[in-house]
Amino acid sequence: MSDSPIIEVQHITKRFKGLTAVKDVSFSIKEGAITGMIGPNGAGKSTTFNMICGYYPPTEGQIFFRGQDITSKKAHEYTNMKIARTFQIMKPLKNLSVLENVMASAYFGHAAAKNEREAKEKAMEVLQFTGLYEKRHVISKDMGTPDQKRLEMARALVTSPELLFLDENMAGLNPAETEAAIQLIRKINESGVTIFLIEHIMQAVVSLCEEVIVLHHGEKIAEGTPEQVMNDPYVMEVYLGTKKEDAAHA
Amino acid sequence: MAEKKRAVRIYHRNLAMVLGLILLVFILIPVFVKSPYVLNVFVLVFYMSTLSMAWNLLGGMTGQNSLGHAAYMGLGAYACCLLITKTGANPWLAAIFGMVVVGLVAGIIFYPCFILKGPYFTLVSIAFGEALRQFIINSSFFGRASGIGLPFGKDSWLDFRFGSKVPYYYVGLIMVLGVYLLMKKIERSRMGYALRTIREDEDAAAAIGINPTRYKIMAVVVSAMVAALVGFFYASYIRYIDPELMVQAKSTESVLPAVVGGAAYVEGPLVGGLIMIPLSEFLRAKYSAILPGINMLMYAVALLAVIRFRPAGILGWYMHSNVKTFIDTKLLRKPSVDVLEEVELAQYHKEEV
Amino acid sequence: MSTFLQACVNGLLMGGFYSLMGMGQNVIFGVMKIVNFCHGEMLMVGMYLTYILWSVCGLDPYLCVPIVAVLMFCLGGLIQHTLITPSLGTKSFTNLLFLTVGLGLLLSNGALVLFGSEYRTITTAYSQTNIGLGPVTLPLPRLISFGVLIVISVALFAFLKYSTTGKQIRAVSQNSVGAEVVGINTKKIYILTYGLGTALAGVAGALLTGFYTIFPTAGASFGFRALIVVVVGGLGSIPGAFLAGIFLGLLETMVALFISPSYSDLIVFVTFIVILVVRQTVIIRRK
């Protein structure tokens, strides 16, 4: 684990027809760590996330992956660079089994399977790792939210990423399911995958992340360890602030 | 383990027997059925099902609802006929020529069109088909509205020209089987998984490293080439083509077998074709002289009934029915998925050792 | 010069029908996001209804317009309730597409069974009346039809903009879930919308009968042109649809005048493809 950042975001700004969704945000993601991004609804988290993942180009600013400028890379080129992501709204192949879903992903990325057998073997491995092995023959649309979230992760993991982006992977889970998801994310990180996640659930962020970035109204307002961030007066204000203070910052 | 292996072997044997039996029936039909009318219906089933499979690759598997497949078929037929009549080329070579031309045209024309999603893609495919038809009607090179005829002559395999319907029956059968195997192969390949991921969600597809545009172009090119092959077959069979071949209604007809059979399945167009085309022909023969339009009216009612009450098509319904469970367990003796998988994985290990 | 002016007027008069068809399609597409592939057949049904009312009851075709509108509204509502709404639940675009295609087949072949394939016309006392206006001649039926459809277009625009139901329709077309949350009965709006779209097509058919032949596939070319109008005029925009329809009518007559009548379809379709692709490219670039 080196100290050099795996991702470096420099002054990115995104404007949609005059509305500035993200304004001059810079931060870096440490290799091997779990970094979190938090912020109230509409803070620009997803926009930032989508820019880093190549879904839309930033209006201004640059993004570097291991020193290489990836600002203009297309979304589909990311798994070849060993970067994978999940979606907040699960997007499985609804009518295929869990195994087939993971196999579909195994065919792509930098370590793409060359044939059906290789795809199946890789898929089986990831299914065991993510705890979906027993349910591999279930049709994915028939599964509950927790398992679908797991499937999202399995589909990303089977492309053998070194950097994994997780978009609200615990939204809609109950405390026990959240705990299981936290365990899984930690396990993925321990296997050597750097993780960057957006999360609303504070418990998860505090227990997982080494570093946290806080966005509010499209701007970065704090970063540091979870303790530092949680004790930051402005962050407390944003999260727990009264009406008057909210108005002052709007 | 040995027992499980035996169970799987028995299942595979049973499956092969049933499929072999079905194939045997189709091979033997012309031996026992001499009526040209009935044979014609079968030839129609073969080429319409093939065209529908071509559509299904793009529509069913990739989720791009094209309504312009008659244009690919027509363009393929025109390319073949023009090469034959203008240069005297061999029809089989002309078939390859036609497929290449149509593949290129589809790839180039649709490259910019794939930024259009959902209904807009459908609209552009209709407009493309109509524009092509209007172009042909206005072009003396293409023979304008009067079309092109292929020369008649002695029966010959070299020229793919026969008085009897039997050779067309067998070539049609080979075509439908070949295209079916190709589609099955694509479904289980990297391309098949890519296409189905794109159908579900293009963003999710891009996230795992699929270039949606590239795979959609691949799908449209393969689909158009198969349609061109059907066009060649049609032209050789009917020996006359005109722009009517490419009207909008023909594109619609080419999709119906897939929708009725079940567009999510490679076999859907075959099942739909085997049911809908004989039905349509039967209604036409029986009623169209008495009351014009009644055949298509009943056809439309059948279509609406399937969409309204069996939205996943006939196969979609079958896949979740007790009939399938009965056939699988009682007739084919299909072992459980776990047993099948265990044996498959064991097979892998044996190959490794 | 006079032929040019005459062509302009002809294009304008025909374009009005494309506008009216486009507006109906626009409302349906806007609210349910489905392409109504039987829109042209609905026009044809409107024509035959007018024909029946004229030949059986002896009604003047223009007096038939309100009756046809009501009948078509009921037909559309019925189709929506029994066929389309249940299929909306499957969320399968392919199925919805072929549902309307199947309806089109049903209607055009139903007409063939009932009326046969012969061409029918409605003749009135003023069928052959022409009005001279400088260098151009205006057939009276076309002129009346055009006037009526302008009135209908304005009424439709006002209805969608100011009435409560119109506002509800626009709300559903922007966000059906949101509309449901604020208490709008979306199923009812669907029925109203499809009924309204169908009625507009039927009215267009009724207005056409004064000078157009009636046959089972009379609606086909209007059906596709309605789609062009929706796409070119912009989703949800009634003035846009109106202008696009006029533009399409003028384009057709200009091509016929300056190039050749046989090229008008080709150029219409190619223009359509180019507009679609260019517009989408611009949208993506802007993102």
User: What's the pLDDT tens digit per position in B10-38?
Assistant: 888 999 999 999 999 999 999 999 899 99
Q: Are residues A95 and A77 in the same domain?
A: no
pLDDT over 90 for what percent of chain C? 48
Using the 8-state DSSP alphabet, how is residue A5 labeled? E
Query: Does residue B115 sit at the A interface (CB-CB below 8 Å)?
Result: no
**8 Å CB contact of B208 and A112:** no
pLDDT confidence of residue B261: 92
Considering only the beta carbons, identify the residue of B122, B304, B311 that sits closest to C97: B122
Q: Are residues A172 and A151 in the same domain?
A: no
Instruction: Give pLDDT tens digits for C30-82.
Output: 888 888 999 999 999 999 999 999 999 988 989 999 999 999 999 999 999 99
pLDDT over 90 for what percent of chain B? 50
Q: Are residues A238 and A183 in the same domain?
A: yes
**Domain of A127, in residue numbers:** 90-160
SS3 A85: strand
Q: Please determine, for residue B352, whether its predicted confidence score (pLDDT) is greater than 70.
A: no
d(CA B198, CA C90): 19
Residues, chain C:
287
pLDDT confidence of residue A114: 87
Contact residues on chain B for A85, CB-CB shorter than 8 A: 207
Q: Are residues A140 and A165 in the same domain?
A: no
Pairing of strands A211-216, A219-224: antiparallel
**Choice between A247 and B206, residue whose per-residue pLDDT is larger:** B206
Among residues A52, A69, A45, A61, the alpha carbon closest in space to that of A10 is found at A61
Distance from CA of A181 to the nearest CA of B (A): 21
Mean pLDDT of the region B314-343? 84
SS3 A68: strand
- Structural contact between residues C82 and C94, judged by C-beta atoms closer than 8 angstroms: no
Per-10-residue mean pLDDT, chain A, length 250: 77 86 90 90 86 88 90 89 88 87 91 87 92 89 88 92 90 87 92 90 85 90 88 80 46
Q: Are residues A237 and A181 in the same domain?
A: yes
Q: Please determine, for residue C4, whether its predicted confidence score (pLDDT) is greater than 50.
A: yes
pLDDT confidence of residue A240: 65
- Of A122, A144, A160, which one is at a domain's C-terminal end? A160
Q: Are residues A134 and A172 in the same domain?
A: no
SS3 B161: strand
**8 Å CB contact of C98 and B128:** no
Query: Does residue B113 sit at the A interface (CB-CB below 8 Å)?
Result: no
pLDDT confidence of residue B70: 93
Q: Are residues A165 and A44 in the same domain?
A: yes
ipTM: 0.86
Instruction: Give pLDDT tens digits for C157-166.
Output: 999 999 999 9
Touching subunits for chain A (3+ Cβ pairs under 8 A): B, C
Query: Does residue C78 sit at the B interface (CB-CB below 8 Å)?
Result: no
Q: Between the CA of residue C91 and those of A94, C97, C174, what are the distances in Å?
A: 13, 11, 18
Q: How confident is the model at residue C117 (pLDDT cuts 50, 70, 90)?
A: confident
- Of A139, A160, A181, which one is at a domain's C-terminal end? A160
Contact residues on chain A for C287, CB-CB shorter than 8 A: 16, 56
Touching subunits for chain B (3+ Cβ pairs under 8 A): A, C
Q: Are residues A136 and A250 in the same domain?
A: no
Q: Are residues A138 and A172 in the same domain?
A: no
Query: Does residue C216 sit at the B interface (CB-CB below 8 Å)?
Result: yes
The residues near A96 (Cβ < 8 Å, ≥ 6 apart) are A104, A139, A140, B196
- Of A127, A160, A193, which one is at a domain's C-terminal end? A160
Query: Does residue C279 sit at the B interface (CB-CB below 8 Å)?
Result: no
One-character DSSP codes across chain C: -HHHHHHHHHHHHHHHHHHHHHHHHHHHHHHH----TTHHHHHHHHHHHHHHHHHHH---HHHHHHHHHHHHHHHHHHHIIIIIHHHHTTT-HHHHHHHHHHHHHHHHHHHHHHH-S--B----TTTT-EEEETTEEEEHHHHHHHHHHHHHHHHHHHHHHHSHHHHHHHHHHH-HHHHHHTT--HHHHHHHHHHHHHHHHHHHHHHHTTTS-B-TTTTHHHHHHHHHHHHHH-TT-HHHHHHHHHHHHHHHHHHHHHT-GGGHHHHHHHHHHHHHHHHHHHHHHH-
Instruction: Give pLDDT tens digits for C94-103.
Output: 888 889 989 9
Average pLDDT, chain B: 89
Q: Which of residues 1-60 of A touch C (CB under 8 A)?
A: 16-17, 56
Touching subunits for chain C (3+ Cβ pairs under 8 A): A, B
Query: Does residue C286 sit at the A interface (CB-CB below 8 Å)?
Result: yes
Among residues C15, C9, C11, C55, the alpha carbon closest in space to that of C209 is found at C55
Residue C95: count other Cβ atoms within 10 Å of its Cβ. Answer: 20
Q: Are residues A74 and A134 in the same domain?
A: no
Residue B309: count other Cβ atoms within 10 Å of its Cβ. Answer: 9
pLDDT confidence of residue C75: 96
Q: Are residues A119 and A182 in the same domain?
A: no
Considering only the beta carbons, identify the residue of B200, B212, B345 that sits closest to A94: B200
pLDDT confidence of residue B80: 94
Nearest chain A residue to C283 by CA: give it.
A17
Residues, chain A:
250
Contact residues on chain B for C224, CB-CB shorter than 8 A: 126, 130, 248
Contact residues on chain C for A16, CB-CB shorter than 8 A: 287
For helices C164-174 and C186-208, the axis angle rounded to 10 degrees is 110
Nearest chain B residue to C265 by CA: give it.
B134
**8 Å CB contact of A96 and B208:** no
Instruction: Give pLDDT tens digits for B222-241.
Output: 999 999 999 999 999 999 99
CATH code, A52:
3.40.50.300
* Domains identified in chain A, total number: 2
- List domains and CATH numbers for chain C: 2-286 (1.10.3470)
* Region of poorest pLDDT, from A2-6, B36-40, B154-158, C141-145: A2-6
pLDDT confidence of residue A250: 39
Q: Please determine, for residue C143, whether its predicted confidence score (pLDDT) is greater than 50.
A: yes
Contact residues on chain B for A54, CB-CB shorter than 8 A: 206
Nearest chain C residue to B56 by CA: give it.
C94
**8 Å CB contact of C273 and B303:** no
pLDDT confidence of residue C131: 84
**Choice between A160 and B118, residue whose per-residue pLDDT is larger:** A160
Q: Are residues A72 and A102 in the same domain?
A: no
Q: How confident is the model at residue B173 (pLDDT cuts 50, 70, 90)?
A: very high
Distance from CA of B208 to the nearest CA of A (A): 6
